[in-house]
Structure 1
Amino acid sequence: MNFKSITFFVVFLSCLLVSKAEKVEVVVEGATSIAQTDEDFICVTLDWWPTNKCDYDQCPWGQAGLFNLDLKNKILEKAVKAFHPLRIRVGGSLQDQVVYNVRNNIENCQPFQKQDKGFLFGFSIGCLDMKRWDELNEFFNQTRAKVTFGLNALIGRKESETEKTLWVGDWYSHNARDLMSYTISKGYTIDSYELGNELCGVGVSARIEAKQYAKDMATLKNLVKEMYPNPKTQPKILGPGGFYDKKWFDTFLDASGHDVIDGVTHHIYNLGPGNNPDVVRRVQDPFFLTQIAQTFKDVSNAIVKFAPWSGAWVSESGGAYNSGGQLVSYTFAFGFWYLDQLGMTSVYNHKVYCRQALTGGNYALLNTTTFVPNPDYYGALLWHRVMGSKVLSVTHKGSPHLRVYSHCAKKEPGVSFVFINLSKNTSFEIDLFHDLNLNGGSPNFEFKGHKKREEYHLTPKDGNILSSIVLLNGTPLELSDSLEIPELKPKLVDGLKPISIAAHSIAFVTIRDFNAPACS
């Protein structure tokens, strides 16, 4: 055997060892949908954190907080506009320390200042003047964003003298009324108001009892009805915006009253602290990723039982708390967790999922300094463009490292899929089966498409999942010379061939001639 032959054999053998292909039969039940999201399911947050918000010897927020954000930046503007529209939730830990200087009666109206004692999260009260509110709304209007604004829920209350972290008393709604009045007078559109941030259950730095919170939600609902009398333009009411606690949530929803809450909001940080070295392993572990499913199911069930007129929202989720996972949250690897979260919450009938954050912290969709998109930005944009609101049941008996989710296509006709391959060494060859049996049983037939499939394969640069550069169908996604968001074009593939999912990759696939009755 000559040298060239030996070299070829060694390379061929190494390829077999690095990535072996596994055939998988994926079954789609297309007769009926199992859940439904909002049309604008994808949502991002903008947070109040100042420059000196620091964790684990780093300060990753820069100028990304709401008081400092450069709203004239062209990349930021184009990144938001690309969604047509993008939901933006304005809020975060410090929102319950924000006062609104509508009447210009607050002396020395200043953003947050670092304080060691006497304030939550180590920062003072922050004052929002109307000049900055005008600037924010100009940005929202220009980018056509759908805005959820998080209101200060602690204003008017005081800390309990007998129970640590418990805040007591009724919510003082006058400052919120002033802000709404000003907002209406300027013609600014608010899609929804959310009351409070992480004050439910045991709280984070403060908490409110469930029945008191329910009473305050009714106050907010009445205020919104008064200020926005036209039901067609009336903002939705959301809450409580914190971590799920069954007893607290059940009491809260039961006491809230009929048609008060439009969206039941909760937060997800299931990967642990941002300095946890295990984050990169967890985002590739299918068993770990699945553990949070019970929370999504429990929230959905609570709504069915106590508030069936409302819907579940994840109004903040950054995966790893304290500004995200260092060296992980802005990389390709984080997409394994993020897109799996989108799929899982959709299955459990969640209407909206808000990623922390658009910019700021390690978990930003856009680089905090340059605003250049990180890999998860493109994952979010593809989901928004490809995945419709109707959710289909999809199963397989292959490796748990292959995660699959299916929806009706965003643009009819057809069905769209997300395939997430958590495995470093195994690729998958997918054969689709269409199950039209309403009463169970074996799938009716193997699906073979006659039209070309639209495929978007996302892979990391150089195969390194800790890269912040993502490739679409083999081509790096980069801004154009004029700073435009790159066009996301699918690869057209023969519909008779199996769907190939490479190791450590994510793929969106739309099949136009997959005729699911649920999607017609």
Structure 2
Amino acid sequence: MFKMSAFFVCAKNVVILLLLICNGLARTEGNNEIMDKHAGVVSMDVTVFTSGVAETVSERFLSVTLDTGLLLNNWIHLNLSSSKVLSLAKHLNPVYLRIGGTLQDFLYFEEMPAKLNYSHRKHADLKPFNITSKILDDLFVFASKVGWDVMFGMNMLDRNPVSWEPWDALKILSYISKKGYPLAGLELGNEPDVYNLILTKRPDPEILGKDFQHLRDLMQMIPFLNSSLLVGPDVTNMCLLNKAYIDFFTRYLDAAHTALDAVTIHQYYLNGAIAKLEQFYDPSVMDILEIELLSAHKILRTHAPGKKIWLGETSAAWNSGAANLSNSFVAGFLWLDKLGLAARYNVQVVLRQDFYGGSYGLIDYNTLDPNPDYWLSVLYKILVGTKVLDVVVMGSKRHTRVYAHCTNRKRTDYPPGSVTVYALNVFSSKDANLTFSQFDKHLVDVYQLQPVGPMGLRSKTVALNGEPLKLDTDYRLPKFIPKRQMTPITIPKLTFGFYVFPMAKASACL
């Protein structure tokens, strides 16, 4: 699928990290790692602050996307009525389903306005196209069956010389309203900070921001949209060294923020066309997200005060992901760390690009079987609650990355006060031994994930506590059975997992 983000995501992340390290902003290694350089096990003590909640995220924190290109191509291989697909989708609930991407700015409903020939576009393969009422029916019927809440991306490049033209968008909304389909929210435009790569001239950000105000005014006049969200602007470049993009973002927010329910940014670490295996578990790559979130929060405090951040489209690698990497076990390191960092930095929703499509889909492009990140996402949904807890790690915290939440009691039978820790060991040669002084000699339920078979980190098969995960013949998920043990916890090299403390009695989780 065509993915313009290949051109926009920060290309100078290494330079940024070096500058931040010089200024004391990037994470640094603890002495324990240096002292234990040649040992087979690195030990560290973890403290979870259980007396108060650090942040609270949405119940739909882990959400998914489908690219607008699927609508152009009649869903490609994605069978929306498949029992397998329906089963896999239901187990991710609750989620937002974002329909968006580069091609949303070329989408029209039924009849394309003849006056808009897009002669000002730079790429000949980006052409306006129509979707039919059947495509919308397919989408909303599927969403209803699996319980997903649709966020629909509107075409912002449907414009007169001055501003956005709402008439085609109103035709879409009128049809959705007539059919009684629930609509969780709207977006307007995809990655407008890089419209200069699509168009011969990018509209000024103040004008685009006013278009959001126009859409909000329309939403307030349409009763069925009274409770729908409006999120944006889906900018894609949070690179701290690129003043032009930051300036665009701030001017856009100044004009649009009062119309928005949340501020969306897009985030990728790597170019899928050239990404390497070791980058998927490299701490310096993982740290990029923390830097970008710090930048985004700083901007919002001044230019969109009180608004929450969403990762409106995100994965490890753009360009439809990295073949044989984004759909293998190794992808889980960047995905799980992203979920941990995003929650800790009060990102309300993380929209995974994508549920289906390319190499980064949660389900396989051809077979529709679950990819490794699907199993990781389902376990996250089951075990991790919305209340985020602070964690301090004494030792090699860049290579052993630890996060904690109150346990999700809506999908488990764990008692009040339970705590779920999830952790990644990205050492390539050392196991990590985690002690929890506050939970000394406590029982802990271990959900350890490891790759299966000779492909190692490139494996598409994942084992939970040594048992390969797979669907049964009726496409039902297996039972996720933990291994109960006493603390401490040992995490094998280059693996990750979830660890539930059922008797933590955390006051923040009662």
Q: TM-score, normalised by structure 2?
A: 0.83
State whether residues 471 and 478 of structure 2, in contact with CA within 8 Å, keep that contact through their aligned partners in structure 1.
yes
Q: Equivalent pairs: percent with the same residue?
A: 28
Q: Which residue of 2 aligns with 1:138?
A: 141
Report the 3-state secondary structure (helix = DSSP H, G, I; strand = E; otherwise coil) of the residue aligned with 1:292: helix
- How has the CA–CA distance of structure 1 residues 86 and 485 changed in structure 2, closer, same or farther, with 3 Å as cutoff? farther
Residue 67 of structure 1 deviates from its aligned partner by 6.5
Matches within 5 A, 1:285-304: 285-304=282-301
Q: Which residue of 1 aligns with 2:381?
A: 384
Matches within 5 A, 1:190-201: 190-200=183-193
Q: Between 240-249 and 324-333, report the one with greater CA deviation.
A: 240-249
- How has the CA–CA distance of structure 1 residues 72 and 150 changed in structure 2, closer, same or farther, with 3 Å as cutoff? same
In structure 2, C-alpha distance between the alignment counterparts of 1:287 and 1:84, rounded to whole Å:
32
Report the 3-state secondary structure (helix = DSSP H, G, I; strand = E; otherwise coil) of the residue aligned with 2:153: strand
Q: Which residue of 1 aligns with 2:64?
A: 44
Matches within 5 A, 1:10-409: 20-49=40-69, 66=75, 69-101=78-110, 105-106=111-112, 120=123, 122-157=125-160, 169-200=162-193, 204-206=197-199, 207-228=202-223, 231=226, 234-243=227-236, 244=238, 245-256=245-256, 258=258, 260-271=259-270, 273-276=271-274, 278-399=275-396, 400-409=398-407
State whether residues 112 and 129 of structure 2, in contact with CA within 8 Å, keep that contact through their aligned partners in structure 1.
no
Report the 3-state secondary structure (helix = DSSP H, G, I; strand = E; otherwise coil) of the residue aligned with 2:446: strand
In structure 2, C-alpha distance between the alignment counterparts of 1:360 and 1:35, rounded to whole Å:
32
Q: Between 374-383 and 67-76, report the one with greater CA deviation.
A: 67-76
Q: Which residue of 2 aligns with 1:439?
A: none
State whether residues 116 and 123 of structure 1, in contact with CA within 8 Å, keep that contact through their aligned partners in structure 2.
no
Q: Which residue of 2 aligns with 1:508?
A: 498
Q: Which residue of 1 aligns with 2:242?
A: none
Residues 147-191 of structure 1, C-alpha deviations (whole Å, 9 max, x = no match) = 111111111246xxxxxxxxxx21111111221121112111111
Report the 3-state secondary structure (helix = DSSP H, G, I; strand = E; otherwise coil) of the residue aligned with 1:416: strand
Report the 3-state secondary structure (helix = DSSP H, G, I; strand = E; otherwise coil) of the residue aligned with 1:122: coil
In structure 1, C-alpha distance between the alignment counterparts of 2:223 and 2:196, rounded to whole Å:
31
Q: Considering only aligned residues, what root-mean-square deviation do their CA atoms show, in Å?
A: 2.6
- How has the CA–CA distance of structure 1 residues 448 and 95 changed in structure 2, closer, same or farther, with 3 Å as cutoff? same
Residue 334 of structure 1 deviates from its aligned partner by 0.7
Gaps of 5+ in 1: 1-16, 53-62, 109-114, 159-168, 434-445
Report the 3-state secondary structure (helix = DSSP H, G, I; strand = E; otherwise coil) of the residue aligned with 2:69: coil
Q: 1:267 is aligned with what amino acid?
A: H
Residue 119 of structure 1 deviates from its aligned partner by 6.3
In structure 2, C-alpha distance between the alignment counterparts of 1:147 and 1:408, rounded to whole Å:
27
Residue 323 of structure 1 deviates from its aligned partner by 0.9
Residues 318-347 of structure 1, C-alpha deviations (whole Å, 9 max, x = no match) = 221211112211000010011111111111
Residues 25-66 of structure 1, C-alpha deviations (whole Å, 9 max, x = no match) = 0122223222221111111111133699xxxxxxxxxx7x64
Residue 493 of structure 1 deviates from its aligned partner by 2.2
State whether residues 34 and 347 of structure 1, in contact with CA within 8 Å, keep that contact through their aligned partners in structure 2.
yes
State whether residues 429 and 493 of structure 2, in contact with CA within 8 Å, keep that contact through their aligned partners in structure 1.
yes
- How has the CA–CA distance of structure 1 residues 24 and 139 changed in structure 2, closer, same or farther, with 3 Å as cutoff? same
State whether residues 200 and 208 of structure 1, in contact with CA within 8 Å, keep that contact through their aligned partners in structure 2.
no
Q: 1:127 is aligned with what amino acid?
A: N
State whether residues 177 and 224 of structure 2, in contact with CA within 8 Å, keep that contact through their aligned partners in structure 1.
no
Residue 476 of structure 1 deviates from its aligned partner by 0.6
In structure 2, C-alpha distance between the alignment counterparts of 1:51 and 1:517, rounded to whole Å:
47
Structure number having the greater helix percentage: 2
Residues 83-134 of structure 1, C-alpha deviations (whole Å, 9 max, x = no match) = 2323211111111000012xxx4599xxxxxx99956471321211111111
Residue 213 of structure 1 deviates from its aligned partner by 1.7
Q: 1:456 is aligned with what amino acid?
A: Y
Residue 473 of structure 1 deviates from its aligned partner by 1.0
Residue 203 of structure 1 deviates from its aligned partner by 5.2
Q: 1:248 is aligned with what amino acid?
A: F
State whether residues 428 and 494 of structure 2, in contact with CA within 8 Å, keep that contact through their aligned partners in structure 1.
yes
Report the 3-state secondary structure (helix = DSSP H, G, I; strand = E; otherwise coil) of the residue aligned with 1:507: strand
- How has the CA–CA distance of structure 1 residues 350 and 40 changed in structure 2, closer, same or farther, with 3 Å as cutoff? same
Report the 3-state secondary structure (helix = DSSP H, G, I; strand = E; otherwise coil) of the residue aligned with 2:297: helix
In structure 1, C-alpha distance between the alignment counterparts of 2:135 and 2:482, rounded to whole Å:
40
- How has the CA–CA distance of structure 1 residues 68 and 173 changed in structure 2, closer, same or farther, with 3 Å as cutoff? farther
In structure 2, C-alpha distance between the alignment counterparts of 1:203 and 1:130, rounded to whole Å:
32
Q: Which residue of 2 aligns with 1:482?
A: 474
In structure 1, C-alpha distance between the alignment counterparts of 2:358 and 2:269, rounded to whole Å:
17
Residue 212 of structure 1 deviates from its aligned partner by 1.2
- How has the CA–CA distance of structure 1 residues 47 and 177 changed in structure 2, closer, same or farther, with 3 Å as cutoff? same
Gaps of 5+ in 2: 1-36, 239-244, 410-415
Q: 2:83 is aligned with what amino acid?
A: K
Residue 462 of structure 1 deviates from its aligned partner by 3.0
Report the 3-state secondary structure (helix = DSSP H, G, I; strand = E; otherwise coil) of the residue aligned with 1:465: helix
State whether residues 67 and 132 of structure 1, in contact with CA within 8 Å, keep that contact through their aligned partners in structure 2.
no
In structure 2, C-alpha distance between the alignment counterparts of 1:479 and 1:384, rounded to whole Å:
17
In structure 2, C-alpha distance between the alignment counterparts of 1:18 and 1:304, rounded to whole Å:
45
Q: 1:404 is aligned with what amino acid?
A: V
State whether residues 250 and 303 of structure 2, in contact with CA within 8 Å, keep that contact through their aligned partners in structure 1.
yes
The partner residue of 2:434 within 430, 435, 441 is: 430
Q: Between 404-413 and 127-136, report the one with greater CA deviation.
A: 404-413
Q: 2:154 is aligned with what amino acid?
A: L
Q: 2:264 is aligned with what amino acid?
A: T
In structure 2, C-alpha distance between the alignment counterparts of 1:177 and 1:118, rounded to whole Å:
24
Residue 308 of structure 1 deviates from its aligned partner by 3.4
- How has the CA–CA distance of structure 1 residues 84 and 406 changed in structure 2, closer, same or farther, with 3 Å as cutoff? same
- How has the CA–CA distance of structure 1 residues 201 and 361 changed in structure 2, closer, same or farther, with 3 Å as cutoff? closer
The partner residue of 1:492 within 465, 484, 488 is: 484
Aligned pair count? 454
Which of the two has higher C-alpha Rg?
Answer: 1
Residue 421 of structure 1 deviates from its aligned partner by 1.0
Q: TM-score, normalised by structure 1?
A: 0.82
Q: 1:457 is aligned with what amino acid?
A: Q
